Amino acid sequence: MLTEKEVNQEVVRSRHLHGPMSREHGRVAKILMREVLEAAQEEAEVSRLPRLSRQRTSSLMALRSELVQVVAVAAQWVANIDNEREREENEQNANSNSAGGAVRQ
Summarize the confidence of residues 81-105 as an average pLDDT: 81
- Where does the pLDDT of residue 99 fall: very low under 50, low under 70, confident under 90, or very high at 90 and above? confident
List the end-to-end C-alpha distance of the chain, in Å, as a whole number: 60
CB atoms within 10 A of CB 47: 10
Per cent of the chain over pLDDT 90 is 80
Q: What is the pLDDT of residue 2?
A: 95
Per-residue pLDDT at 86 exceeds 80 = yes
> Which pTM value belongs to this model?
0.83
Yes or no: say if 42 and 62 are a contact pair by the CB < 8 Å rule: yes
- Give 100's pLDDT tier (boundaries 50, 70, 90): low
3-class secondary-structure state, position 37:
helix
- Phi and psi dihedrals of 98, rounded to 5? -65, -45
In the predicted structure, residue 56 carries a pLDDT above the cut 60: yes
pLDDT for position 102 = 55
